[in-house]
Copies of this chain bind each other. A is one copy, B any other.
């Protein structure tokens, strides 16, 4: 059987861990499986390389950053191949370009255009375990590109699709996808299965298990993705189509975010094009705006609120100061001490009573809701940052998500 595995930075964080993984893979190979392994950079390598770049230039070009950062996975790939060979298993490491991962030219956040798996298939025929450097590819200009944070997940899904497997496995430092962050909620339950869209909401709401784009790609091609522990040998969570799943219309998990700031623009002239003139410069500056809420217009004016990552606050306020003058906005307010808690589940938004129950649970706990934002499968509340952990527990218990509930 052809297995496609991905091992994250923690799983290959030290030479010892690489050897552990290689030992496990050697067993799978001896049992008759073919293996294609995608690896991330070891531990903090990527961050260290970025630091190195920043010591050279405050604004290094994306093209050179990609050339730099891609070395992290090339290193861990070569080491994994060496470790396999040391177990007597024929192996070969391939960089993104050697593995035929073709991307567009957007350095730093390239998207995979196609995969030419010719070389991988050739090496598989020779009986070798293939170790592919994740997170990277090559564009038409023959330049090395990277896929953005967590891009190794995307590499694994793309290779799974190109090689025609039914499921890929992502080995990471958690046992799977939980009903809430298990570090905060003691009786959080590991989900056996979850749908692509629920996983997307959980990921975008702060559950840092999977790279969003990898889930999207898996969704499009209906590639099953199993997220599981690389340290313990037990089933993880399978991300797959909703049809095979537990009954819908119930809350599947609690997601949360801290480190966000709420910005409110008071008395904005309510005219076509105004929103564009506010959010375009923020987007151009690379600021990820979330939870945009615009109140009902009154006398031709409206208030607009949204959240941004806390680290972008200074940059955002600078930009908004200009926007304020241009658009004659009365006031720009910023609350840096907010957080977000969301309930996620297919159908919950259209199921009567669930939203009300959420608001009720929070209210009973004395937690004030500042803003509400919803999607098809998510209801999110912006609350005080200090209330976030309590809110997660209240909702997790209230919706009966715990192991023993």
Contact = CB atoms under 8 A, between A and B. Distances in A.
Interface of A: 15, 18-19, 49, 52-53, 55-61, 63-65, 67-68, 70-71, 74-75, 77-79, 81-83, 85-86, 92-93, 95, 98, 119, 142-144
A94 to B, nearest CB: 9
B68 A79 contact: yes
B83 A67 contact: no
A67 B52 contact: no
Contact of A77 (B55, B57, B63, B67): B67
- Greatest chain B CB density within 10 A among A18, A57, A83, A98 is at A57
A53 B74 contact: no
Given A56-B15, A57-B85, A86-B57, A78 B93 contact: no
A81 B63 CA distance: 10
A49 B18 CA distance: 15
Contacts of A98: 142-143
Contacts of A58: 86
Identical chains bound together, number: 2
A105 to B, nearest CB: 14
A67 B78 contact: yes
Contacts of A63: 92
Contact of A67 (B15, B65, B93): B93
A18 B70 CA distance: 20
A85 B71 contact: no
A85 B67 contact: no
Nearest to A22: B56
A68 B61 CA distance: 24
Q: Identify the 7 closest CB pairs spanning chains A and B, nearest first.
A: A71-B71, A68-B78, A57-B86, A15-B55, A67-B78, A60-B82, A64-B78
Contacts of A18: 56
Nearest to A138: B98
A392 B354 CA distance: 89
Given A56-B19, A83-B56, A74 B75 contact: no
Residue among A57, A68, A78, A98 facing the most chain B CB atoms (10 A cut-off): A78
Contacts of A144: 95
Given A68-B75, A71-B71, A74-B67, A82 B53 contact: yes
Contacts of A83: 56-57
Nearest to A70: B74
Contact of A64 (B64, B68, B81): B81
A77 B53 CA distance: 11
7 contacts: A15-B56, A57-B82, A57-B83, A64-B78, A67-B74, A68-B79, A71-B71
Contacts of A78: 53, 64-65, 67-68
A57 to B, nearest CB: 4
A119 B92 contact: no
Contact of A75 (B15, B71, B93, B143): B71
A78 B107 CA distance: 14
A23 to B, nearest CB: 12
Given A64-B93, A78-B64, A52 B15 contact: yes
Q: Which of A63, A64, A95, A143 has the most CB of B within 10 A?
A: A64
B95 A119 contact: no
A64 B52 contact: no
Nearest to A18: B56
B64 A85 contact: yes
B79 A56 contact: yes
Contacts of A59: 86
